[in-house]
Structure 1
Amino acid sequence: MKALVYTGPEALVVTDCPDPVAGAGEVLIRVDSVGICGSDMHAFLGHDDRRPAPLILGHEAAGVIIDGPRDGERVTINPLVTCGTCKPCTTGRENLCASRQIISMPPREGAFAQLVAMPEGNLVTVPDHVTLDQASLAEPIACGWHTVRLSLDVLREEPREDLTALVIGGGPIGVGAALSLKAQGVTQVQLIEPNPIRAEYLNKRGFDVIAPDDLAESHMVDLVIDGVGYPATRATASAHTRPGGVIGHIGLGASEGGLDIRRMTLQEVTFIGTYTYTAQDFRDTCAAMFSGALGPLDWTETRHLAEGQQAFADIRGGSVPAPKIILKP
């Protein structure tokens, strides 16, 4: 098969690789659409020790099962593979499984390839009215869905239609979180995006986007979701969450700095760190997508897998208006 292989910092090449072999309980999927994630970018820049070269990256995928009783079935992929027997797995918190694996991280190769092998239980059937480009957005949106669900549970005694929310970051994680907030009943949602090209693109698609400098110092909200995770964005979250409010943290930009621990302590601001999603969150995200509750999902750009190196460079340079580039193997 052809695959886009990460060979070292800022280097990706399309080359021939062995076809994956489906293990027990697994099937082969011909990949149709696979999104570029922020974690792929971290690896591309050489900033992720968990993804050493050479490696096939990519974990936001949808495609078609080949061979077997489900041959020809269109599916989207939950890339998180867990043991199924530990306490987190048996209590519905599979994302915290100590032995979890995710495609695009050894020992599992990723989906920037023509084929990928996955356990059947990680697949969700895609209805005919949903394109596989749209279906490949399930993984990044599920990250925001999970964070919103956990954050709203803290605020469960307050009517959701009265809550205000601020999402930091207009990339796919932030956009997915904003859509998930609305789908879960929060109607007053603003999104902060510093790139004017991206902000204009999203405003035209109905998002309420502001620049960081447009955020008034006194502006307070019930819930802030940080989809970036740098010291500056955590500082913004700390400063603009009202007393008794919640910060839902998804971003993995940097490991330290930014939180105002004293203010959070004195004003009982809840901080929730979140990682990926549970299997049920993934299925719920898919159901919301398929029902139309997450909108038209029209904020993507597609390129051929062979254009992967340039796509990464364009994302890094900030010249891509769309929050998500989808590669087509």
Structure 2
Amino acid sequence: MKALVYTGVEELSYLDRPRPEPGPGEVLVRIAASGICGSDMHAYLGHDARRPAPLTLGHEAAGVVVGGPQDGRRVTINPLVACQNCVFCGTGRENLCEDRQIISMPPREGAFADYVVMPERNLITVPDPVPLAHAALAEPIACGWHGVRLGRAVLGGDLSGAHAVVIGGGAIGVGAALSLAAQGARDIMLVEPNETRRARLADVAGFEVCAPGEPAMPGDGSADIVIDGVGYAGTRATASAIARPGGVIVHIGLGEAEGGLDIRRMTLQEITFIGTYTYTAEDFAATAAAIFDGRLGRLDWVEERPLSAGHGAFQDIRAGRVAAPKIILTPEHGASDS
């Protein structure tokens, strides 16, 4: 089979790789769509020691089961493989499992490939009318869905009267904004500095878009819930300034590790900070269901490119030349499938 393999800092190679063989409880999935995540970009730039070269990246994927009794089943993939035995797994918090694995991180190869193997329990059936490129968005949107659910609980469970602000117009931020709308928020502002991307998002239903510093930018102390989908010191500083007293900051982005939070203001004004990592299996399933029944909109803000052109896609993202919040890579599936 073919795979897009991370071979060194800012190096991706389209190579022949052995087709994986499913083990007990696993199935083989022929990949139809796999999204480029910010964590893939971190690895590509050499900023993620957890993803050493050589490694097949990619964990936002959907495809079709090959072989066995489920042959032909269209699925979206929950890439987080939990142990199912620890206290976190037993209480439905699989994202905190200490023995969790995720495809695109050793020992599991990722989904920028013709095929991947997954435990059957990690698959959700995709209805026939739903494009698999849209189903692959379940993973990045689930991060926002999970964060919104946690923040909503802090605010008493009702977002209908809340002023919500999302920082970052990539797939994590857009998914969080759509999740806010699907979970009851009506007043949503998305902040994105890239003009090209803002223009692409202007017609996405459910929220407004502005640039930092514009008159429409939310003022200090004005937001009930702020979701930072970027995770840099500057975005954390913005989040801790615009959150209202008693408000909540949901921090999803992993841009850089330190700096930005106004701890004194957060302490004096009882602003809750929630760090979130991935999602629970229940949140992933809820996100997939929201995609399937249309609650997350048209999902037409993706750009599809062939897997063989994946390195160019990474270069374009690195250079800021991509308007779409998400690039989806699609394998060609030819004679190399074996």
TM bracket (short chain): over 0.9
Task: Give distance in 2, aligned partners of 1:105 and 1:4.
Answer: 14
% identical aligned pairs: 66
Using the TM superposition, give the Cα deviation of residue 83 of structure 1 relative to its aligned residue in structure 2, in angstroms.
0.3
Q: Which residue of 1 aligns with 2:73?
A: 73
Cα deviation, 1:229-278, whole Å, max 9, x if unaligned, reads 00000000000000000000000000110000000000000000000000
TM-score by length of 1: 0.98
Using the TM superposition, give the Cα deviation of residue 161 of structure 1 relative to its aligned residue in structure 2, in angstroms.
1.1
Q: Which residue of 2 aligns with 1:29?
A: 29
Paired residue type of 1:324? K
Q: Which of 259, 262, 277 lines up with 2:261 in the alignment? A: 259
Q: Which of 217, 227, 230 lines up with 1:228 in the alignment? A: 230
Task: Give distance in 1, aligned partners of 2:220 and 2:140.
Answer: 31
Q: Which residue of 1 aligns with 2:183?
A: 184
Whether contact under 8 Å (2:221, 2:245) holds in the other structure is no
Q: Which residue of 1 aligns with 2:145?
A: 145
Q: What secondary structure is seen at the aligned counterpart in 1 of 2:198?
A: helix
Using the TM superposition, give the Cα deviation of residue 121 of structure 1 relative to its aligned residue in structure 2, in angstroms.
0.2
Cα deviation, 1:49-83, whole Å, max 9, x if unaligned, reads 00000000000000000000000000000000010
Using the TM superposition, give the Cα deviation of residue 16 of structure 1 relative to its aligned residue in structure 2, in angstroms.
0.5
Using the TM superposition, give the Cα deviation of residue 216 of structure 1 relative to its aligned residue in structure 2, in angstroms.
5.1
Task: Give distance in 2, aligned partners of 1:177 and 1:92.
Answer: 21
Task: Give distance in 1, aligned partners of 2:261 and 2:72.
Answer: 49
Q: Which of 281, 295, 311 lines up with 2:283 in the alignment? A: 281
Of 280-289 and 216-225, the range deviating more from structure 2: 216-225
Task: Give distance in 2, aligned partners of 1:230 and 1:10.
Answer: 21
Q: What secondary structure is seen at the aligned counterpart in 1 of 2:289?
A: helix
**1:216 to 1:102, Cα distance in 2 relative to 1, 3 A:** closer
Task: Give distance in 1, aligned partners of 2:219 and 2:248.
Answer: 18
Q: Which residue of 1 aligns with 2:327?
A: 325
Q: What secondary structure is seen at the aligned counterpart in 1 of 2:311?
A: helix
Task: Give distance in 1, aligned partners of 2:319 and 2:281.
Answer: 34
Q: What secondary structure is seen at the aligned counterpart in 1 of 2:58?
A: coil
Paired residue type of 1:108? R
Cα deviation, 1:154-207, whole Å, max 9, x if unaligned, reads 0016x4211110000000000000000000001110000000000011013334
Q: Which residue of 1 aligns with 2:173?
A: 174
Structure 2 unaligned spans of 5+:
332-338
Q: Which residue of 1 aligns with 2:110?
A: 110
Using the TM superposition, give the Cα deviation of residue 327 of structure 1 relative to its aligned residue in structure 2, in angstroms.
0.3
Q: What secondary structure is seen at the aligned counterpart in 1 of 2:160?
A: helix
Aligned-residue CA RMSD in angstroms?
0.9
Using the TM superposition, give the Cα deviation of residue 218 of structure 1 relative to its aligned residue in structure 2, in angstroms.
3.8
Paired residue type of 1:313? Q
Paired residue type of 2:178? L
Q: Which of 250, 253, 274 lines up with 1:272 in the alignment? A: 274
Task: Give distance in 2, aligned partners of 1:173 and 1:209.
Answer: 15
Structure 1 unaligned spans of 5+:
none
TM-score by length of 2: 0.96
Alignment of 1:96 with 2:109, yes or no, is: no
**1:275 to 1:216, Cα distance in 2 relative to 1, 3 A:** closer
Q: What secondary structure is seen at the aligned counterpart in 1 of 2:303?
A: strand
Alignment of 1:202 with 2:211, yes or no, is: no
Paired residue type of 1:234? R
Paired residue type of 1:55? L
Task: Give distance in 2, aligned partners of 1:138 and 1:271.
Answer: 25
Q: Which residue of 2 aligns with 1:6?
A: 6
Task: Give distance in 1, aligned partners of 2:42 and 2:76.
Answer: 24
Whether contact under 8 Å (2:237, 2:261) holds in the other structure is yes
Task: Give distance in 2, aligned partners of 1:92 and 1:126.
Answer: 23
**1:78 to 1:115, Cα distance in 2 relative to 1, 3 A:** same
